[in-house]
Chain A
Amino acid sequence: MFDAAAGHPAHLQHHFSDSEQQASASKLGMWLFLLTEMLLFGGLFAAYSIYRAWNPEMFYEAHKQLNIYLGMINTIVLISSSVTMALAIRSTQLSNRKLTVRFLVATLLFAAVFLVIKYLEYHHKFELGQLPGKYYTFTGLQGTNPHIFFSIYFMMTGLHGIHVIGGMGVISWMLYRTKRSQFSPAYYTPLEMTGLYWHLVDLIWIFLFPLLYLIG
C-alpha cells in the first residue's frame, strides 16, 4: 500500500499533496455528480407534476392499476440494500474484509430481487397492454389519455432501473477490488463513493413509490 520509491501511499495521485485532499476532492466531485443525477430525474418529476395537474382524475384511476404490495416489497428491498451497503463500508473501516465482501454480495442480491420484482410488474403490464403512448391497448380505464400515465410510469421506473443495473455493475467492481485487498481503513474512497451513488438510487425510488403507487 506504500510506494517506497515515490515516498507516498500508492493510491495518492501525483497532483494531490496528501490523501486527505484527494479524498475530499473525490467527495465533492461525487456530490456534484449526484446533483446532475437529481436534475436528470428532475425533468421527469416536472413532467409528472404537469400531467398530473392537468389530468388528476385520470392519474387517480390509472394509479390503481399498479400493485402496491409489490411496490412496497421493492421499497423494503432497496432500503435493506442501502443498509447492507453502509455496513459494507463500515466493515472496511474496521478492516474486516470478509464481512465487507458478504455485505456487498448481499447488496447485489437485494438489487437483483428488486429487478426481478420489477420484471414481474412490467411483464404483467405488457400482457394487459398497459404500455406507453401509441402501444397502449388496455381498455379497462376511463378518463382521457390514460396512456400518458403509463408513459411516465415506464420512463421513471425504467430510468431508475437502468441506474440500478449500473449500480450493480459498480458494486461488482468494488467487490472485485475488495477481494484483491485494495481497500483499507486508510483508503476506501471508491467504496464510499459507490455507497453515495447507491443511496441516491434508493432515495429516488423512495420518491417514485409514493408518487406513482400511493397517492390518489
Chain B
Amino acid sequence: MDGIPAYNYLSSPKGWKSWLLTRDHKRIGLMYLFAIMFFFLVGGIFALMIRIQLLTPNQALVKAETYNQLFTLHGAVMIFLFIIPSIPASLGNFVLPQLLGAKDVAFPRLNLASWYIYVVGALFLMYSIFTGAADTGWTFYTPYSTQTTTSVIATTLGVFILGFSSIFTGLNFIVTIHKLRAPGMTWFSMPLFCWALYATGIIQILATPVLGITLVLLILERLFGIGIFDPAMGGDPVLYQHFFWFYSHPAVYIMILPGMGIISETISVFSHKKIFGYKAIAFSSLGIAFVSFMVWGHHMFTSGQSELAAMIFSFLTFLVGIPSGIKVFNWLATMYKGSISLAAPMIYTLMFLILFTIGGLTGIVLGALSVNVHMHGTYFVVAHFHYVMMGGTVMAFLAGLHYWWPKIWGRLYSEFWARVGALLTFIGFNMTFFTQFILGAKGMPRRYSTYLDQYQPLHGFSSIGSFILGAGFVVMAGYLIYSLFRGKPAGNNPWGGLTLEWTTTSPPPPENFLETPKITHGPYDYDKVIADNG
C-alpha cells in the first residue's frame, strides 16, 4: 500500500472558491454529503426530543402545541432535507460517473445549481422554525394546513424549492446513464447501482412536479382562499390527499431504490461472488418505479374514497411485494456459498436485509384493507415506516458510506469501532421501533404528545432504545472523523471490488480516470477475475 496520491480531487484545485464554484461531481457529492449529514443530525435531535417527551405521559419536555411542531419538523427535515437527497445526491453523485467510466455527470453546472437550490430550500425550512414552525405533520393535510397560524407557507415553499433540486439530480443522472457510459459499457454491464439510480430518476422526474403544483395550490389557498381544497367553497380536501400522495408515495421509492442499488453492490463484493439474477434485480427496480405510481390510494383507505377504489389500491399495493421480494431472494442467493467477509459495509448490508424485510412484510400487512382500518394512524404505521426508511434506506446509506469512504477520502476507518457502532445501532433501532409495532397493535395513536398509563412501559423501552441508537451514531461520527486524520491509506481497491471506481486512485484525480477506462470484465465477474488489491 502506498500513501495518499498527491494529485487528487480534494487537493487540486485549491481554495474555497474552487469548492463553491466547482463543477466536479465528486466535490458536489461531498458538499451534499456534509449538508445532508448536518440535517440528519438536526432531524435526529428532534427525534430524540420526541422520545424524551414520550418517556413519561406527563408532557415533561414540551406542551402539546410545541410537540406538534416537533414531529412536523422531524418529519419534514428527515424526509425533504435528508432522506430524499441522501443516497442519490451524495453517494450517487460521487460514484455514478466513476461506475460508468465517465469524467463527470452530463450537466455539471446543473449539478452545482441543484446543490445551491437545495441550500435555499433548506434555508426556507430553517427560517420557518424561527417564525413558528408548521404543526401540520410533514404531509401538510388540508383543511388544517390552511387554517393553522404557524408558518406553513415558508415550509411548503422550502419543500417546493427542494423539489427542483431533486428533479435536476434525477434528470442529470438519467442523461448521464444514457449518454456517458464508457466505450464498451452496455446497459447490462452497468453496475446495478446505476439501474437503481435510473429508476429513481424516472420517479423524481415524473412525480416531483406534481408535488410542486400541489404545494403551489396549497400556498394559494392560504394566501388567496382559492377554495380548491376548501369544502365550504365547493372544494375537496381529499383531492389534496390524492395530489400529495401521487407524489409522496412514489417518493418513498425515491428514498428506497437507491438503497437497494447499494445493497446490490456490497452484497456481491463482500460475498466475493457474482450477483445472482442481475437482470431480475435491474428490471425489478424499474418494476418498482412503475408500480409506485399506482398505489397512492392506500394512504386514503379511511379518508372516504370509494370501496372499489380502496380494493383496487389494496390489490395493487400487494404487487409492490413482488419486485421487492425478487430483490431480497436474489441477494440471499448471491450470499449462498459465497465467501462472506464481515467488513463494516457488509454488516450494514445484513442489517438492511433483516430490517427491510420486516419493514416490507409489515407494509403488506398495512396494505390489507381490513387490517389497515384498525392500524391506520397508529404507531404500527410509524414503526413500519421507520423499518423501511431507517432500517432500509439509512442502513443502505451507511453501507454505501462505509463502502465508498476509502474511495472518497483515501483512508480507512477502524473496523473494530465500526462494529461497535453497528451493534449499538442495530440494538437501539430494534428496541426503539419494534416496540412501536406492539404499541400500534395495542392502539397507541401516532402524533399524540401524551398517552394512557398502560403504554408507559413500552414507550419507556422505546425511548431508551432511541438513546442507544443515538449513541451508535455518536460512535460512528467519532471513528469516521478520526479516520480523516489518522486513518491508514486505503490504496486503490481495499475491498477487492470489480467496478470501475476501484481501478482509479483513492481519492480519485479530478477527471476520475487518467485515461478512459477499458471494460475488460463485468462488474461482478468474481468467477473469472481476482481483483487486484493495489
Contact = CB atoms under 8 A, between A and B. Distances in A.
Interface of A: 13-16, 21, 24-25, 28-29, 32-33, 35-37, 39-44, 46-47, 50-51, 55, 132-135, 144-145, 147-148, 151-152, 154-155, 159
A133 B179 contact: no
Given A32-B205, A39-B206, A13 B228 contact: no
Interface stretch (B137-145, B212-220, B378-386, B468-476): B212-220
B225 A43 contact: no
Contact of A24 (B179, B206, B209, B230): B179
A15 B210 contact: no
A145 B236 CA distance: 12
A132 B180 CA distance: 48
Given A40-B209, A133-B225, A155 B220 contact: yes
B106 A145 contact: no
B225 A25 contact: no
Contact of B217 (A33, A41, A155): A155
B308 interface: no
B179 A32 contact: no
Interface residues of chain B: helix, strand, loop or mixed (majority): helix
B388 interface: no
B234 A37 contact: no
Contacts of A135: 224-225
A37 B226 CA distance: 22
Given A25-B175, A29-B171, A43-B213, A133 B227 contact: yes
Closest 3 CB pairs of A and B: A145-B234, A43-B213, A134-B225
Contacts of A51: 228, 234
Interface residues of chain A: helix, strand, loop or mixed (majority): helix
Given A32-B171, A151-B227, A25 B209 contact: no
A18 B230 CA distance: 55
A19 to B, nearest CB: 13
Given A15-B102, A145-B234, A155-B217, A40 B225 contact: no
Given A15-B102, A47-B217, A47-B239, A133 B167 contact: no
B175 A32 contact: yes
B243 interface: yes
Given A47-B217, A148-B235, A134 B227 contact: yes
Given A28-B174, A36-B209, 9 more contacts: A15-B97, A15-B108, A15-B180, A28-B179, A35-B206, A36-B205, A40-B212, A51-B234, A133-B227
Contacts of A33: 171
B102 A25 contact: no
Interface string B66-91: 00000000000000000000000000
B167 A28 contact: no
B175 A148 contact: no
Contacts of A41: 213
B168 to A, nearest CB: 9
B17 interface: no
A36 B208 contact: yes
Nearest to A28: B175
B6 interface: no
B285 to A, nearest CB: 18
B104 interface: yes
Contact of B180 (A25, A47, A144, A148): A25
Interface of B: 97, 102-108, 110, 167, 171-172, 174-175, 178-180, 205-210, 212-214, 216-217, 220-221, 224-228, 230, 233-236, 239, 243, 511
Nearest to A135: B224
A141 B108 CA distance: 54
A50 B235 CA distance: 10
A135 B233 CA distance: 12
Contacts of B511: 14
Contacts of A50: 236, 239
Contacts, number: 115
A148 B227 contact: yes
A3 B205 CA distance: 36
Given A32-B205, A43-B214, A50-B239, A145 B102 contact: no
Given A15-B102, A25-B175, A148-B227, A44 B213 contact: yes
Most buried by A among B97, B110, B235, B511: B235
B210 A39 contact: yes
Contacts of B216: 159
30 contacts: A14-B104, A14-B511, A15-B97, A15-B108, A21-B179, A21-B180, A25-B106, A25-B178, A28-B175, A28-B178, A29-B172, A29-B175, A35-B206, A39-B209, A40-B212, A43-B209, A47-B228, A51-B228, A132-B226, A132-B227, A133-B225, A133-B227, A134-B225, A135-B225, A145-B233, A145-B234, A148-B228, A148-B235, A151-B228, A159-B216
A28 B243 CA distance: 27
A55 B107 CA distance: 46
Contacts of B234: 51, 55, 144-145, 147-148
A138 to B, nearest CB: 14
A25 B179 contact: yes
A43 B210 contact: yes
Contacts of A13: 108
Contacts of A133: 221, 224-228, 230, 233
Contacts of B220: 132, 155
Nearest to A41: B213
Contacts of B233: 133-134, 145, 147-148
A85 B103 CA distance: 35
Nearest to B230: A133
Contacts of A37: 209
Contacts of B235: 148
Contacts of A44: 213
A15 B209 CA distance: 29
Contact of B210 (A21, A42, A154): A42
A29 B106 contact: yes
B160 to A, nearest CB: 11
Contacts of A132: 220, 224-227
Contacts of B102: 15
